[in-house]
Structures are given as structure tokens and as C-alpha cells.
Structure 1
Amino acid sequence: MKQSSGNSTTIARSAGVVSIAVMCSRVLGLIREQVFATLFGAGFAYDAFVVAFRIPNLLRDLFGEGALSAAFVTVFSDYDTNRTKEETWRLASNVLTFFAIALSLISILGIYLSEPLVHLLAPDYDLIPGKTALTVTLTRIMLPFLVAISLSAVVMGMLNTKGRFFVPAIASSFFNLGSIVAGTGLAFLLPRYGQPAIAGMAIGTLVGGILQLGIQLPTLRKVGFSYRIRFDLRDSGLIRILKLMIPATIGLSATQINIFINTNFAASCVEGSVSWLNYAFRLVQLPIGIFGVALSIAMMPLLARQAAEKNVSEMRATLVSSLVMVLALTIPATAGLMLLAEPIIRLIFEHGAFTAADTRATAQALSLYSVGLFAYSSNKVLVPAFYALNKTRYPVIASFIAIATNLIFINLTIDRFQHMAIALSTSLTMLLNFLFLTTILSLKMDGLPFGYLTRGCLKITFATATMSALVYAGNSLAASWMTGNLLQQGISLFTIILLAGITYIVLLNAMRLSELSEVLAKIGSRLKR
């Protein structure tokens, strides 16, 4: 597939930059979770925080970062390609003003309705004295986070379209830094004034959201943007964005319904279930962010530009090359997380209030979440293609199919498997989404080069199987160190992962997977310089 070479190199280069930044953010995110695990463990306080944070997070995904970001990049890329600079920046100012006002109003309404929202999301919290009241308080503290993080997504879209990827991607590191530093400091300070320590972490989350937006503004000015107050509801570009957002918001509402279903069921399981699932999903988000999200961010402006130029053949090549990249990175990550779930959880979280029983329960959830890792990451690559083609109704349909599947599966298995049923159901719905979106996209693009994709998958599967055998053997040989002191755990886990990673890369390179060869060649040229 020679035509994909230039595109895959461009995507690989941009995705590599984003991946480095995202890795920094995810590592800081894990440190943030370690702080939570050490200070609060898995139970009353952290359960309350997870549900409280889920409310602004649901609204962010529904109205802000997800639908807004994808719709904005599509229209902004079109303006950047086909309109004047003045028209492009005028659109940007109008979008920022409109959404700052709209999201502020939504946040105020959410603060007013916090109590019924908590009752809706976690009705069983009423059975534990004080848990609902704490969740309501934390929700009210964190709701303004919605405004900062959604505007941050708009700014990120502007910078990505202008070819700036690193600063927007590293911005989320400042969210985690703000959460850790401000949150931890306040968690120790607030109890002296009769306030719960967990409220400090909620304030830290708000501080982090403001930092994530603020750190991008100097770079935005450098690319030529100067904000001018503009509020024009008749702006054709704004109207296009809102029209694109409608099906996206409907589709994301289906995703949010799934999250609502999962949270509701988790809250009805034994205490700690919400925490176990959240800790596990945070770990799964590490490879999703580094691989799936990074490739999606790098690919979206390129796809949007190719769509504006009506170049379907190049879009097809870009998409399949990106899929091969994401599969090459996530399939071995899936195997590694499943085989090393318990040692990873033990090393990262089993300190302070986090017990060995919490480790076992969280590892079970992590293994099951990992089943759908490659599909979850691939969907991050597939969905922008539908936006670029203006076929936004199909991700919506896929999302509602996922709701039905999720609801049926959890109802059939929750009594027997408890929190594990939720993790497995999430993976199965992602797999179903992946199959549906791939099939529809192939039909809408007059076929995809599945032969190329299949050959890549066979190479990836063989290399992953060999790597998995090495991991399994290493895990057995180092069993005593895996449960030893912190240093022994770290050395043994790092050694196994390093050897497995080298083995995997050597095998894929020997089998000449072109996407990997291009990435390695780019790294080699950078090192020589």
C-alpha cells in the first residue's frame, strides 16, 4: 500500500509527539490515582468522589470535549483550507464566546440539580449514612470544571489544525499536576476546619482544569490568534458546528447512558466496587490515551483536510494505516495487562489504605477491561472518519446498539459476577462497536484494503503470542519477587515488560510491518541528528 506511506509517516510523526505528551499525562494520572489509593483506599470517600466527578465528566463528554471537539475540528479545518485567515479566527472567537456562556449556564443548572442527579446516578448511596450528602457536595465543587475543560478542547482543536500537537497534549499533564499538588495540600488542610479531606481533591480537580486551559493560551497566540469578543448566533460556521454536534451529542448520550447504567449497577454491588472499577479503568486508559487517542488526534486534521479536498482514496489509505498502527500497539498491551494485572495493581496501588483484597478485585476488573482495549482504541480512530465523511448518524446507531447489549449482558450476569460483569460488558460492547463501525465504513468508502489489514494483523498476532509466552514464563520465574518488597516488585516487573517489548519489536521488524519500520526509521533519524 505505497500510497499510504507519506500519510502514515505524517501520522506516525504527529502521533509520536502526542504519545510522548500523553504518556507524561497518563503517568501523572497514575500518580494522582496512587494519591487517592494511599489516602482513601477503595470505599466510602473515593466511591463518593468517583460518582461526583462522573457528573461533570458525563456533561463534558456529552456537550463539550467529545462532540464539540470533533465538530469544531471538522469545520475549522474547512475554514483553514478554504477561507481567509480573518474568517477563520473570527469563527474561533465566536465559538469560544458562545460555548463559554452556554457551558456556564449548564454548570449553574447542574449545581442546582446536584442532589437529584446523585440520587439518579447512585440511589443505593442513601443506604449508607452521609454518602449521598458527601457526593452532592463534591459534585457542586467540581461542576465548573466542565467550562474550563471544554474550552480547552476547542483550543486544542485550533492548535492541532495548525500543526501544533505537543502543547495541547501535554496540557492534560498540568491538569494532573494541579489535581495532585492543590488537591493533596488541601486534603491535609481542610480537615483542620471541619471539612472532609476528599473535598480538597475535588477543589484540586477544578484547579487542574483551569491550568489545562491556561497552559495552551500562549501557544495559541503564537499561531496568530487574538481573541475578540464576538457573539453571533447567525454565524454560518457556528451553525455548522452545532448541526454536526447534534448527532454526535445524541450518540454520546448513548455512551453516557451506558456509563450511567454501569455506575448504577456498580453502586448497588458491595462497597468498593465503584472504586475498583475506576482504578482499573484508569490503567486501561494509559494505552488508550498513548495509542488510540494520540493517533486519533494526529489523524483527525489530516482526514478533515482530505475530506475537504474530496480525496477518498487518500482517506482510505490514511484510515487503514492508522488502524494497523493502533492494533500493533494495543494488542500486545492487551496481552500484557491481562497477564500482569495483579503485579501491576500491587506495585502501583497497594499502599496505605489500599489492601491486598482491593488489589485482587481491581486486577479482576483490569483483566476484563483489557479484553476490549484494542477495540476501544480502534474506535477512537474510526469515529473521526465518519465526521470527515459527514456520516455522523452511524456512530450514533452503534452507540444505541451498545446500550441494548450492555443492559442485557449486565442484567444476566451482575448477580453472579458483581463488578466483573460490568468490566466484561464494557469490553464486549466496544468489540461490537468496532465490528459495526468497520463494516459500515467499508461500505461508505467503497471498500477498505482488508488484505493489507489482515496481513498486518497476522504479523501482530504472531509477535504478540511469542511475547505473551515470554511474559508468562517470566512471571512464573519471578513469582517470589513479584510479591516481595517494593524494589523487588519494581525490578521484576520492569525487566519482564522491557524484555517482552524488545522481543515484540524485533519480531515485528523482522516481519517488516511497514508502519513500525517507518516509526523506527523516524526515531533513528532523530537520534542521529
Structure 2
Amino acid sequence: MSTPPSVTPSGSTGRIARSAGAVSIAVMCSRVLGLIREQVFAGFFGAGYAYDAFVVAFRIPNLLRDLFAEGALSAAFITVFSQYDAKRGPEATWQLASNVLIFFAILISLLTLIGMYMAGPIVNLLAPDFSLVPGKTELTVQLTRIMFPFLLFVSLAAVVMGMLNAKGRFFIPALSSSFFNLGSIVGGLTLAWLFPRFGQPAIAGMAWGTLLGGALQLMVQLPALRNIGFRLRVHCNLADPGLQRILLLMLPAIIGLSATQINIFVNTNFAASCAEGSVSWLNYAFRLVQLPIGLFGVALSIAIMPILAKQAAEKDMASLKQTFTSSLILVFALAIPATAGLILLAEPIIRIIFERGAFTAFDTLQTASALSWYACGLFAYSAIKVMVPVFYAVGTTRFPVIGSFLGVAANIIIIILVIDLMQHRGIAMATSLAMSCNFLFLAIILHWKLAGLPLKYLLTGLMKILTAAALMSVAIWALVQVLAGWLTGPTLLQVFGLGLLITVGGGLYVVALQLLRLPECTLLTDKLVQRLRRS
């Protein structure tokens, strides 16, 4: 079938793929270090008392981070900063950037102080059943107060990342989270070894390491920021129209993202009422599913945001629709096989990464079951990351808000229906189904707002992706039966067996997509061949 001209992958697809590729490399480094960080936690603390407390304590500043840093603030700032950069010149652009940095430094410092003071009531609200275990609430409160300033560092890091991304610098900002994990691991392990000698819990050392990692995530970006011409001017002008525009854009996004935080609150509350270790099992599983989300969902989102903002500013809606369509196909092409792989290989993946020290075979089974259910919503998680920037670009931010609250309602209803039967697995399933509801709602709205998406083109591409993924899944399933002994044997044999499964499955999938002639895949392959020939 020939590709309609209106949706033929163009130079923007290649540009997005190159930028997303750079981000993906940096994200891969971060996610690998993140897995090492989780391995450290699993080996030292397992799934239970201390790690449950850490997860809930870290989740509290994380709730606000998602609102102020990697969510509303980042998207709103990039949109306004790109408009200033295109139309107002460097003087006004850098003045806006300085004003935003100073304003949010003051605001979030105040929120941090309030959060540290209110840590006790917040922990009791988030995990009331922790009070049934002696000392667990008190430990969680202590860890919360240590880690709350993390919010300030990552919020300022998000503004700096927005400036660098708008200027076409993607690698260093994406790599900055690697320094967060590095600081968490090195600093956390050092302090965890020292603290018990002074009568402090080892897990508190990991909390201080997390705070150190947040500071490094900000500091590592500052040289790159200076290189693009930024110089901080210490002033705070609340009447600045650019700042007011950012706050207005943030408002509906904060309301929408607050729905996500309600989901996290509900899930944490229910998980804390399940068997001890449920909070940890869900956290370990979700950390793993965040690897593919980061590699292509977040990477593509970061790459397309400046392009969409520029196309919207130029009123080039045809190019905007084309950019979005190609990006959505790329998301499906990456997320669907990743979902199949995570479901089929959940147990061997968890076993290799976590099963040692205090993390038992029983923990592996429980975490793997949660991972399988989380993976079912991977396509929705990743696609929403690409869809929301379109709403920002065209100035209709209320629809992601509505979609988020529809997801909250679906999540709560499903959990109530299945929690008694499925326990923590029901929470993972409800999360995936809620995200799928959000995705369907946003897709319908975008079809309306963009005067019709190329549904025939999208469905044709989706069928090709599903066919290739099905062939890959059959091959992996058959190989799992053959290599069953390897996947439960010595660690090196497990690693070799899993690597072989992933290599064979991934290779078969790419070949199948090439044979089926998925346009986005063949375009990228042709560009790669051309580059190799030139080399």
C-alpha cells in the first residue's frame, strides 16, 4: 500500500529519531544505573520493613516533583521559552529564564519547609497501616524529612533541562539523571555503611544519598547552560507576562497531574494494606517498566516538544499532525514488542536483577506478577508522553486534565473490585487499565482537535507492528521452553540465556518490520545505511 502524502515520514521524523536516539542513550545509562541502585536496595534491604518505609518516604517529594519538575513546569516552560526564543530575541528570553529560576527556587523552598514540618501527618495519610508495625511510621517520617529538599534540586534541574532542550541540547540533560543515580549509589552506600556505627538506621544513609544525587542532577547541567549563553540575573518580577503565561499553562497541567498523584496515593494506600512487601514488589516492578518508558516514551516526548512548539507557533498544522502521527507509530513500534518481552520474560528478568541477598525467590515471583500487569499498559504510558505535548503546542491543556481524572475513576473502581482477590497484582492491573482509558480518551480528542487523524495509516502501521510482535513472541516462547534449564541455573548461564532470548526476539522483530515495510522503520533503516556507506 502506498503511503498517503500527508503522512509520509519526512525530515522531521529523522530529526526526532536522532534527537530521541541521543536522549535514549543517556536515558539508558540512567536506567542501568537506576537498576543497579534498585539491586543495592534489594540486596541490602529486600522487600519489607526498611524498604517499604523508604519507598513511601521518597514517594512524597516525588509526588510534588511530578507536578512541578518533570511534568507541568517542564512542559509549560519549554512552550513559552521556545516562543520567546523564536519571536522576542535572546535578551528577553534569558531574562525570562532568570525570572523563572528565581521564582520557583523561592516557591519550592517554601513548599519544602512546609513538607518537612508536616511529614508526620502526610505519612499517616499516605500509609496509615504502617502504624500497625512498631517503628515503621517513625522511620518513614525520618526518611521523608531527609529527602524532601530533593524536590528543590530536581525542580530547578527541570527548568535548566527545558532551556537546554529548547536550544537543541538533549544529551547532557538526559544524562543528568545518571548522576542522580550515581550519587544515590556511591553516597548512599557509603553513608549506609557509616550510619549504624552512630546509632542511625542504614536506610537513612540511602536517603541522604538520594538527596546528594538530586543536587548532582542539577549541578552537572550548569556548565552546558553557561555554554549556550545563559547568565543568571537575580530578580523576581511577578508581573512578567512570560512567567504568568507559564503559570497559566501549568495550572491545568497541575490539576491533571494531581489526578496521577491521586492514583499513586490510592495505590500506595491499598498496597500498604496488603501483605508486607507489597509496596516494595510494586515499586521494583514499576522501576523496571520505567526503563522502556524512559527509553522511547520520554525520549520521543523530549525530542518532539521543541518541534511541535515551533510548528504551532508558525501555524503549520499539517506538519504538526505529520510529526505527531510518525511519533505515535514509533512509540507503538517500540512499546508493543517491549510489552510482549516483559510479560514473557518477567521471571528471568527479576531473578537476574534482584534475586540475591535479602531478596528471595518468593519476592521474585511476586514482583514478576506485578511487572507483567504493569507491562500491559506500557503502550498507553508511552503514547500519552507523546500526546500531551501536542495539547500544549495547540493550547488546549484542559483535555489531558479530563483524561487524567477519568483514569483516576477507572483506577479506583477496578482496585475496589479486584483487591481482595488479586492483592498487589490487582493494583498493577488497575494502573494499566486506567492509563489505557486515558489514552483512548486523548486519542479521540486529538482526532477531533486536529481535524481528523490518518486512521487508515495508523491502523495499517499498527497491524504490521502487531504481526511482527506476534512472530517475535512465538519465537521467544519456544526458546524459553528450550532454555528453561539455563534460566534457572547459575547466574552467568541465566544472563547468557536471557541475552540470547532478547537478541533473537529483537532481531526477528526488526526483520519482520522491514519485510512488512513499516514506513517509519524503513526510513530510519535507509538513513542508517546511507550513513554507513558514507563512512
Identify the TM-score tier after normalising by the shorter chain.
over 0.9
* CA distance in 2: counterparts of 1:80 and 1:87, whole angstroms: 8
Q: What is the rounded CA distance, in whole Å, between the counterparts of 1:462 and 1:286 in structure 2?
A: 24
- Paired residue for 1:90, among 83, 87, 95? 95
1:520 and 2:516 matched = no
Q: Hey, what does 2:350 align to over in structure 1?
A: 345
> What is the root-mean-square deviation in Å for CA atoms of aligned residues?
0.9
Specify the alignment match of 1:177 in structure 2. 182
**Structure 2 match to 1:378:** 383
Please say if 1:411 is aligned against 2:416.
yes
Query: What corresponds to 2:17 in structure 1?
Result: 12
Structure 2 counterpart of 1:424: 429
Q: In structure 2, what is the equivalent of residue 264 of structure 1?
A: 269
Long gaps (5+) in structure 1? none
Matched residues in 1 for 2:358 and 2:429: separation?
Answer: 27
Q: Is the 8 A contact 1:18 1:165 kept in 2?
A: yes
Q: Does 1:464 align with 2:469?
A: yes
Q: How far apart, CA to CA, are the structure 1 residues paired with 2:139 and 2:532?
A: 52
Out of 476, 493, 497, the residue aligned to residue 492 of structure 1 is 497
Q: Does 1:33 align with 2:38?
A: yes
Q: Which residue of 1 aligns with 2:361?
A: 356
Q: Report if the CA contact (8 A) 2:153-2:214 is conserved.
A: yes
Q: CA deviation at 1:20?
A: 0.7
Residue 457 of structure 2 aligns with which residue? Answer: 452
Query: Is contact 1:13–1:522 with CA below 8 Å preserved after alignment?
Result: no
Deviations 1:252-302 (A, max 9, x none): 111100100000000000000000000000000000000100000000110
Match of 2:320 in 1: 315
Contact between 1:75 and 1:237, CA under 8 Å: does it hold in 2? yes
Q: CA deviation at 1:403?
A: 1.1
Structure 1 residue 427: Cα displacement: 0.3
Deviation of 1:64 (Å): 2.6
Aligned to 1:367: 372
Are 2:407 and 2:438, in contact at CA under 8 Å, matched by a contact in 1? yes
Write out aligned runs for 1:188-227 (5 A).
188-227=193-232
Whether the 8 Å CA contact 2:387–2:442 is kept in 1: the answer is: yes
| Paired residue secondary structure (1:479) | coil
- Paired with 1:64 and 1:166, the residues of 2 have a C-alpha distance of 18
Classify the secondary structure of the residue corresponding to 2:485.
helix
Specify the code of the residue in structure 2 equivalent to 1:252: L
- Stretch deviating more after TM superposition (409-418 or 507-516): 507-516
Residue 443 (structure 1) aligned with residue 453 (structure 2): no
Contact kept in structure 2, 1:171 and 1:212, CA below 8 Å: yes
**TM-score w.r.t. length of structure 2:** 0.98
1:63 counterpart = 2:68: yes
Q: Deviations over 1:95-126 (max 9, x none)?
A: 00000010000000000000000000000000
1:123 is aligned to 128
Amino acid in the other structure paired with 2:400: P
- Residue from 293, 298, 315 that aligns with 1:293: 298
Q: Which residue of 2 aligns with 1:278?
A: 283
Q: Is the 8 A contact 1:187 1:198 kept in 2?
A: yes
What residue in structure 1 maps to residue 118 of structure 2? 113
The alpha-carbon deviation at position 429 of structure 1 amounts to: 0.5
Output the amino acid matched with 2:507: I
Aligned length: 529
Quote the offset at 1:517 in angstroms.
Answer: 2.1
Distance 2:354 2:429 in 1: 22
The partner residue of 2:52 within 47, 51, 54 is 47
1:65 counterpart SS class: coil
Q: CA deviation at 1:84?
A: 1.1
State the Cα distance separating 1:315 from its structure 2 match: 0.7
> How far apart, CA to CA, are the structure 2 residues paired with 1:93 and 1:56?
24
CA shift for structure 1 position 527: 4.3
TM-score for the superposition, normalised by structure 1: 0.99
Q: Is the 8 A contact 2:289 2:371 kept in 1?
A: yes
Q: Distance in 2 between matches of 1:47 and 1:121?
A: 12
How many angstroms apart in 2 are the aligned matches of 1:516 and 1:101?
46
For the pair 1:243 / 2:245, whether they are aligned, the reply is: no
* Correspondence 1:147-158 to 2 at 5 A: 147-158=152-163
Deviation at 1:62, TM superposition (A): 1.8
Partner SS state of residue 327, structure 2: helix
| SS at structure 2 position matched to 1:195 | coil
Distance in 2 of aligned mates of 1:8 and 1:24: 24
